[in-house]
Amino acid sequence: MNAPHQKLTNFVVSAYNDWHVEEWAGAYPGRILPLAILPVWDVAAAVEEVTRLAAKGVKAVTFPETPYALGLPSFSTDHWDPILKALCDTNMVMCLHIGGAFKLLQRPKEYSIDQHIIMSPQLSAVACTDLMVGGVFNKFPSLKVAMSEGGIGWIPLLLDRIDLHMENQTWNGLDLGGLNGTESFRRNFLGCFISNPSSLLLRHRIGIESIAWECDYPHSDSTWPRSPEILHAELEAAEVSDEERHLISWQNACRFFDFNPFVELSEQQATVGALRARSADVDTTTTSRAEYRRRFEAALSGAST
C-alpha cells in the first residue's frame, strides 16, 4: 500500500510476528496459539512470510474477511492464489475476523453503534459466501478457514439457501467442485461463537465438527468471567451430549488448528474448576472506572511519597 516503504513495512510485520510467536505466545506453550499477520499488500512477501512462519510451527494467520472492503482485490479474483496455495501447502488456517464486511455495508450517518454491533455477525455470511461461491475451494479444496468471532447463527440459513439454490435454480450452473453447500462448508470452515443459544439447537445442521466455542476475552463483547457458566447453560438448554461438548469446547478447535493444548497441563489440570483453583488470587469482580482511577491514583501517590 505504501510502496516507497514497502520493504521496511514487510520487515516490521515479520518482527511483530517473531515477538508474537516466540515471546508472547511462546512463553506459554499449549496455552496461546499464535495468530500471525501477513503483508497483504505484497503477495510475494506474504507467501515468503507464510513459509517462514510455518518453519516456526505457526498454525494460523489472520486475513481480511473481505479484502475488497479494504480496496484490495476480492476473493473471486486469482490475486490471492499464491498465498492461499502457501497456506494449503503448510496446513495453516486462514482466520477471518468478524467485522471486515461491515465496511461494505453503506450506513446512514444517523445509524448507531448498536446497529453496528448487532448486524456484524450476519455479515460474516458475506465473507463465507464470497469464498464458497467465488470458487476459491474449487482451486484450493484443502484450504482451512476459521470464521473468527463470526458466530454460527448465519450458517444454517446460508446452507439451506445454497443447497436450495443449487437444486432449484440449476440454470445458474453453480459448481462447488461436485459438492453441495453443506458439504463444501463442512470441508473447509470452522464456525466460532461466543453465545448463540438458538444455533446450538441446529448444531447437526451446521455439522457437529464445524463448531468451536470462544470467549473473546478481554473484549467487551466477551461473557468473561461468567463464560463457563453461560456456555454451560446454553449447552444444557440445547441438550448437548458430553461427547459433543468436548468437540465444541476444545476438540474441534485443536483438530482444525493442529494444536496440542496439553503441553504444560494435563487434560485433568485444564478443566474450568482446576484452572480456577490455580488462579484464586485473580480479582474478577466487576470494578467501575472510578474505582480503578482511585486505586491507580492511590498507587501513584504511594509511589511518589
Residues that bind a copy of itself (CB under 8 A): 68-69, 73-74, 76-77, 104-108, 110-115, 117-119, 121-123, 125-126, 129-130, 133-134, 151, 153-154, 156-162, 164-165, 168-169, 171-172, 174, 195-199, 201-202, 205, 220-221, 223
Give the shortest CB-29-to-a copy of itself separation in angstroms. Answer: 32
Q: Is the separation of the CB atoms in 238 and 193 below 8 Å?
A: no
Give the shortest CB-254-to-a copy of itself separation in angstroms. Answer: 26
The x, y and z cell numbers of residue 39, run together, are 503483508
Q: How far apart are CA 250 and CA 164, in angstroms?
A: 32
Q: Which residues of 153-186 are buried (b: 16+ CB within 10 A; e: fewer)?
A: bbbbebbeebeeebeeeeeeeeebeebbbbebbb
> Phi first, then psi: what are they for 246, rounded to 5°?
-65, -45
Q: By C-beta, is 92 or 125 nearer to a copy of itself?
A: 125
Give the shortest CB-33-to-a copy of itself separation in angstroms. Answer: 25
Closest by Cα among 158, 74, 83 to 121: 158
Q: Is the separation of the CB atoms in 194 and 144 below 8 Å?
A: no
Distance of CA 284 to the CA centre of its chain: 25
Neighbours of 22 (CB within 10 A): 12
Give the shortest CB-218-to-a copy of itself separation in angstroms. Answer: 14
> Phi first, then psi: what are they for 293, rounded to 5°?
-60, -45
Q: How far apart are CA 128 and CA 143, in angstroms?
A: 13
Q: How far apart are CA 24 and CA 171, in angstroms?
A: 52
Give the shortest CB-298-to-a copy of itself separation in angstroms. Answer: 25
Q: By C-beta, is 10 or 227 nearer to a copy of itself?
A: 227
Q: By C-beta, is 185 or 257 nearer to a copy of itself?
A: 185
Q: By C-beta, is 17 or 196 nearer to a copy of itself?
A: 196
Give the shortest CB-91-to-a copy of itself separation in angstroms. Answer: 28
In the beta sheet, which residues pair with residue 22?
none
Q: By C-beta, is 169 or 271 nearer to a copy of itself?
A: 169
Q: By C-beta, is 41 or 259 nearer to a copy of itself?
A: 41
Q: By C-beta, is 52 or 205 nearer to a copy of itself?
A: 205
Give the shortest CB-134-to-a copy of itself separation in angstroms. Answer: 7
